[in-house]
Amino acid sequence: MEHFTKSFTRQEPIPEEGIAAAVDVMRGGGLHRYGATPSHVASLEEEFAARTGAAHALAVASGGYAMGCALRALGVGPGDAVLTNAFTLAPVPGAIAAVGARAVLVEVTEDLVLDLDDLAAKADGGAKVLMLSHMRGHIVDMHALMAICDRAGIAVIEDCAHTMGAAWDGHPSGRWGAIGCYSCQTYKHINSGEGGLIVTDDADLAARMILLSGSYMLYARNGTAPSEEVFARHKGLMPNVSGRMDELRAAILRPQLRDLSRQVARWNACYRAMEHGFRDAPGLSVIDRPQAEAFVGSSIQLLADDAARLPAFVAGCAARGVEWKWFGADRPVGFTSAHRHWEYVDRHALPRTDAVLSRLIDLRVPLTFDLEDCALIARIVVDEAERHLTTAKA
The string of pLDDT tens digits covering residues 192-201 is: 999 999 999 9
What is the mean predicted confidence (pLDDT) over 298-310?
A: 96
pLDDT of 333: 76
Work out the number of other CB atoms within 10 angstroms of the CB of residue 313. 23
Selected from 3.90.1150.10, 3.30.465.10, 3.40.50.2300, 3.40.50.720, the CATH number assigned to the domain covering 260-388 reads: 3.90.1150.10
pTM for the structure as a whole: 0.96
The CATH class, in words, for 16-258 is: alpha beta
**What tens digit of pLDDT does each residue of 207-263 get?**
999 999 999 999 999 999 999 999 999 999 999 999 999 999 999 999 999 999 999
- Res. 330 pLDDT band, cuts 50 70 90: confident
C-alpha distance from residue 40 to each of 181, 245, 275 (Å): 19, 10, 38
Q: Is the pLDDT of residue 3 over 60?
A: yes
Q: Is the pLDDT of residue 114 over 80?
A: yes
CA distance linking residue 391 with residue 394, whole number of Å: 9
Is-contact 18 251, C-beta < 8 A? yes
Residue 126 per-residue DSSP state: S
List Cβ neighbours of 230 (8 Å cut-off, separation of 6 or more): 203, 204, 206, 207
pLDDT of 391: 67
> What ranges do the domains of the chain cover?
16-258, 260-388
Q: Is the pLDDT of residue 394 over 60?
A: no
3-state secondary structure of 199: strand
pLDDT of 219: 96
CA distance linking residue 161 with residue 18, whole number of Å: 21
pLDDT of 392: 42
